[in-house]
Structure 1
Amino acid sequence: MTAAAIPSAEPRSPAMVRRAVLSSVIGNGLEWYDFLVYGFFATIIAQVFFPTSDPLVSALLTAATFAISFLVRPVGGVLLSTYADRLGRKPILTVMILIMGFSTVLIGLTPDYATIGMLAPILVILARILQGISVGAEFASATAMLVEYAPPGRKMMFGSFQMCSQALALALAAFSGYALATLLTPEALQGWGWRIPFLLGSLITPLGFYIRRFVDESPEYEKDTKQSTRQTPFRTVLAEHRNALLRCFGIMIPGTASNYVWFIFLPGYVIRQLKLPFTSAMLSSLIGGILLFIFVPIMGHLADRWSAFRVWLLGMLSFALLSYPLLAYVVAQPSFERLLTAQAICALSIAAIWAPTPGLLAGMFPTQVRSTGMSIAYNVVVLLFGGLAPFTLTWLVAKTGSDMVPSYYLLACTAVSLLALGLASRTRAQG
């Protein structure tokens, strides 16, 4: 189970390579920063925009709003990724960061329900839809740009920078939550403090736009598209690369589940279900994000030197085996120390999953349809196993009364991943 080789083109200058890496990391980091902040402040957002007499209903409404952007991501992502394959990576990435910045500002500035009534949740939902349209193609197009700029033998390392941006976003989002909860009273945090992380996140948009505006087009894209005939990327992927899509589904599922369950759902879960302080959840996530930021490029380097799929498989299996006992360890006697221990131990396994994933996905498709192929796989998996996870887990925990539901969910995701990879290998062998 190895990715197809990604050919290298005429190299760009070191300064242009650094600019391309930075532009990809900034955009993806902004996306994840916004999603993580929304997830971390879900309890407050529920009270501000979706007030009801039942806290569970408010939590479910907030989780549903979180999931809305994922419902439009496949459409927006595939549409924009198709243009990225037809017109180039640079123009689409430049447009997407503007849309992301606007939607982030919209959430930060929308008045609460008590001030403007139903218009408040409507504006939040609109912002989430805009985010879904733009970020649906962000991962695929930015990853394509990274691996196509990478020198020979460093495709996995460069692809891992995409996941480093997620780890950095996790650390920054958790730091903002921890700092605000420490410095502000609960009333001030709910009244206006929660808006600060969104507004601060939007400030990076002008920098990201400026950098992307002056990045050269991907060298491999320029080389390969000049030598190929014009085609319809979406139709080509579905007609000629179905097996690659199935392999991408299998590879994507563990990384998606680990991110959305362990770092987006879990902080709110330990606050709401296990009654840990908000500051404990944020500080643990902050340290977890820092550890991931350190471990991911190391794993990316190992993936280039050893075997990308073996690194991924080792991370996936170790995380699957660790998730149940570590969650049980936290649930038995909820405390900051136990939560931090669980997240720190899992950080190494999750880094091994995350680091080779972008490079593996990119290697599944030729340059002419790479962004579209990755976008289809990414958005379908993120919708089913990521965006719907907070809503699904909140509902299941309430219905079953079991605090161990998140670990069961992660084990189920592992089984589905292995099934998809097994089916892909069997189909490929028969073909």
Structure 2
Amino acid sequence: MPPFDPSALGFATRAVHAGTGPDAATGARAQPIYFTNGFVFESNEQAADIFAMRATGFSYSRGSNPTVAALERRVASLEGAKAAVAVSSGQSAVLLVMLTLMQSGDAYVASSRLFGGSLGLMRRLETRYDLTPHFTRGLTPEDFEAAITPKTRAIVCESIVNPCGAVTDLAGIAAVARRHGLPLVVDNTLASPALIRPIEHGADIVVHSTSKFLSGSGTVIGGIICDAGRFDWKGSGRYNLINEPWPDYDGLVVSEKFPETSFATACRLFGLRDLGPGLSPMNAFLTLTGTETLPLRMERHCSNARAVAGFLRDHPKVAWVSYPSLPGQPGEETANRYVPNGAGAIFTVALKGGQQAALDFITGLDLISHLVNIGEIKSLAIHPATTTHRQLRDEERAAAFVGPETVRLSIGLESVEDLIADVAQSLAKLP
């Protein structure tokens, strides 16, 4: 009988089993939570070897912890990555990717439609550290190619755009990235690997806010960075943290010693050992538990979102709905190609009565909570123009489909009839 090959298992099976197994010491079937900040070394030589990257092992939980490592292995398996690095938040994940790829004076191409927190971070990195984003005019591959300059070091986009729900042509953008020898970075938070696995479409780096669909419960904060392991870092002639010697690690060159996990290794050395945004083992454990039901939850999220979006689209007090899985919606063809079972659970809806109607609609909801998170089992609503995207300029909010009349909905797992009834009663109270 051939040896057991976890990579040959189906997605739902890997969501339950990948990265974990019965505990060797106790036989416990659930992943143990290793609440410890440090680990005892077997010898002086082992301690020195681990700190010099001559050997693998646990030393201090800021850099790695057995519970966190289990989550990293699972998400890497679900995304089809060679390695993953878990961090304290999705915002930390985006930050570490940027700082590992670039140094002062470098530039990158970024989608014009991104989560407001990512856009705010990019603006701060530009003004304080001279890392310049060149934003695309639209979402087509041609838009991304037109923004590339000689200083460009990466292309950054989201698989499903927060908050408008547009689905990105990842394969087309990946082809642009390959032509120019650039890594493609994809934020896959809104899709989760249950809907889209960007590496299969050509992405080189995938990030998540694990606070959303991966954990699903709305109880934890976390982020993760996945390394596809196939970008030719050494051949690029760029990326000093990956291709130049590290004096504090005895001249280690990451791309030479870790050719298949170069980016993940550089992220761990610089991001976790130097900057320090490590993930709590309890948060890792709760996220591992959440991933076990991810495939089932995403099916229900998508079916509920399609039904609620369809109801809103046909309501007389609604100006428009941005959910590309609805027939006749902009981006429908791309959505059907990448997410035939539904474009996730997040979308925006614009009220004909303007900003006051949008605010009153949120206030009038009973079942759907007024809450800033997304991707939870509970349905949520927020007014992006005055919260998550308030720091954007007017033209940037318009490009992101978050004008003053717009509400972002994150549709959960409740009975769809109850969700529609809640939306209907709140709309009925509007003038």
Query: If you compute each CA radius of gyration, which structure gives the higher value, 1 or 2?
Result: 2
Structure holding more helix per residue: 1
Structure holding more strand per residue: 2
Q: For CA contacts below 8 A with separation 6 or more, give which structure has more relative contact order.
A: 1
TM-score bucket (shorter structure): under 0.3
TM-score between both structures, scaled by the size of structure 1: 0.28
